[in-house]
């Protein structure tokens, strides 16, 4: 179980930066969500509603969201949460189903999930207060491996599972390489461990259905070097400063030197 440690400082960058990036780092929302908020007229600077996420600023002084002043970005923090099955990775649900925020303890900072786990999937979910860290962790180009264990009903051979390493197209959607290994089988039920780097919506369930398998339980056991080992359903812990610093540095070294400009 990770232990709480001193908080790491935010990355230092010189010069003005896009407001979408600054607000994401402050934990308001992801860059994409912030761009939508700007389009909806919800973000202002010194009382003037902004119209473009390309606005360059030195700081968030004078910036408001829904009329409320934005606090400066705090130190980046990363939490490990064991998401229970039967919860949504969302802030709220119009249908009234429970969300991860219903299960989190009081007193935490504003946290954003890194990627998503669907309603029926359980296991490791990373949470952060830093939009830039969230973006780094989610980008396939960062090469962060997600590891799952699936209990599936149906007949499949190891040879069939190994074909997934080349990627597969299902209903017009192309899924990247998946490393899958059959752990054990009882009758027509088997446990399969698999690793991937894309994490598209319901990827595991859709790819397995393509192989004729019905997933009855899906657990994410690891996200990069972080694991759910020893964690109970609903439990949360924080990554210590040194571990987070080293992990962020490894992401920077893996990431491409240049990224396509934002729209």
Q: Which residues are catalytic?
A: 118
**DSSP β-ladder status, 17-18 and 56-57:** antiparallel
Q: 3-state DSSP call for residue 141?
A: helix
127 secondary structure, DSSP code: E
Label residue 61 exposed, middle or buried (CB < 10 Å: 0-12, 13-18, 19+).
Answer: exposed
Token digits of residue 99: 């969300």
Continuous segment of H or E residues that includes residue 96:
none
**CA 104 to chain CA mean position, Å:** 16
Q: Give the Cα separation of 49 and 67 in Å (integer).
A: 10
Q: Give the Cα separation of 52 and 54 in Å (integer).
A: 5
3-state SS, one letter per residue, for 48-74 = EECCCCCCEECCCCCEEECCEECCCCC
Continuous segment of H or E residues that includes residue 6:
none
């Amino acid at each position: 179980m990770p232990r709480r440690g001193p908080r790491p400082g935010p990355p230092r960058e010189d010069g003005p930066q896009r407001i979408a990036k600054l607000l994401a780092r402050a934990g308001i929302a992801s860059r994409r969500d912030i761009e939508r908020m700007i389009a909806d007229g919800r973000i202002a600077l010194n009382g003037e509603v902004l119209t473009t996420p390309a606005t360059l600023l030195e700081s968030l002084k004078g910036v408001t969201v829904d009329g409320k002043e934005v606090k400066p970005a705090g130190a980046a923090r990363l939490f490990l949460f064991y998401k229970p099955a039967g919860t949504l990775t969302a802030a709220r649900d119009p249908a009234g189903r429970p969300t991860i925020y219903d299960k989190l303890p009081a007193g935490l900072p504003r946290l954003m999930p890194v990627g998503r786990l669907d309603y029926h999937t359980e296991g490791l979910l990373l949470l952060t207060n830093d939009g830039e860290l969230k973006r780094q962790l989610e980008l396939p180009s960062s090469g962060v491996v997600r590891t799952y264990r699936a209990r599936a009903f149906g007949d499949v051979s190891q040879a069939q599972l190994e074909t997934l390493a080349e990627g597969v197209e299902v209903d017009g959607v192309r899924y990247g390489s998946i490393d899958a290994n059959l752990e054990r089988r009882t009758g027509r039920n088997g446990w399969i461990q698999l690793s991937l780097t894309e994490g598209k919506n319901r990827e595991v369930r859709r790819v397995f259905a393509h192989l004729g398998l019905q997933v009855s339980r899906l657990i994410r056991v690891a996200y990069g070097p972080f694991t759910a080992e020893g964690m109970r359903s609903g439990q949360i812990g924080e990554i210590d400063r040194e571990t987070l610093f080293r992990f962020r540095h490894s992401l920077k070294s893996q990431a491409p030197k240049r990224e396509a400009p934002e729209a």
